[in-house]
Amino acid sequence: MRQSKLLASQLQRRDPNAWTALLCEQTGRDDLVVTAVSAKPITPHHKNGPRITRYLLLLAGHSDPISFLGRYIDPVEAAIFRDVAPRLPDLLPRCHFLHQAMPNDGGWIVLDDVPNDILPERWAVSDINAILEKLANMHGLFLDRPTALTNAGLTTILDRKVMPWETLVAEQKAYFEEGPAAVLSEHALTQAGQLAPLFLQAANGLVVMRDLGGWPGILSETHLTAVADLLDDPLPMLEPLRQLPQTLLHGDPNSSNWRLTVFEDQRLTEWQTAVIGPAVCDLVSFIEQFGLLETSEKSVGMKTRPLWPVNEETIIDTYLLALSQQMNG
């Protein structure tokens, strides 16, 4: 562990010898020599995300530099890259180094700097099919095999463990102070379990939409009433989901978390949301956010996708076919 901490420190200080040792170990070659290392901070993908550094390495005998990403990760991502990523070599960015002070702690990681050559607004049908196939393969690989995931430290999103009221109030203080929590019963928050924070956020959205008089053509009072009823008694929604087979979920596999290269490679990033749950949660998350696109890397905001290359039914059919092939393969 001490050696790991020392190497992490040397890599962060841009020590060419440390980077040389890491490259030689990872590639199995002894003729690679790093002559210079530069570092450039880059904007985190998500607001309040951890600091990310791009390391540019110059190699002896090579004119073009190679790049890696270094950043701190939370315990969930550390568990994913330590215990899960080796079983999904074609899905996650390749991990070259991971330092953790303790097994269940966060850590510092060195990852491939996967280029995002094909932005979501330029995805073709073949790109979407490849993404859905990889998502289905991941779900199929861990379907009804929760032991490996719980041993890695992942939690179950739909468990019946009640979130302590004091914890909920402390973590979601604004919602309780500003009133949206008042539309939720104690029964609803108890049944929601670990999803209670999401129910509070949904209640906040409900209050806002009702204050605005709905969304003409999108959300009528009938829709808002249905949402209110569901928030008041979530059991009709949660219980069927709890009966489904459990698997590994990314938790937020939206378009902005995928990196597609010109070499027909698709990588899923940002694994801090990973949990155990029914596969349909990831699929619905992908579909629900498919129509939203980031405005740019430097600005915060979203825009709507002007044209869907495929419709929702095709996305579902493609995913189910890929999952069936994975399970029967």
Domain with CATH 1.10.510.10 in the chain: 120-156+246-328
Partnered with residue 97 across adjacent β-strands are: 110
Amino acid at 276: I
* Predicted confidence (pLDDT) at residue 300 exceeds the cutoff of 80: no
Domain with CATH 3.30.200 in the chain: 2-112
* Predicted confidence (pLDDT) at residue 213 exceeds the cutoff of 70: yes
pLDDT tens per residue across span 30-71: 999 999 999 999 987 666 677 899 999 999 999 999 999 999
* Confidence band for 235, pLDDT divided at 50, 70 and 90: confident
Q: Residue 7: how many CA atoms within 13 Å on its side-chain side? A: 21
The per-residue pLDDT for 181 is 63
Show the tokens assigned to 150.
């719980």
Amino acid at 283: L
Query: How much is the pTM?
Result: 0.90
The per-residue pLDDT for 297 is 53
Sign of torsion over alpha carbons 111, 117, 121, 122:
negative
The per-residue pLDDT for 178 is 64
Answer whether CATH 3.30.565.10 is correct for domain 120-156+246-328.
no
Domain covering 2-112: architecture: 2-Layer Sandwich (3.30)
Query: For the chain, how big is the Rg over CA atoms in Å?
Result: 22
**Which of 158, 120, 111 shows the shortest CA–CA distance to 294?**
120
The per-residue pLDDT for 183 is 67
Asked if 91 and 227 count as a contact pair (C-beta separation under 8 A), the reply is no
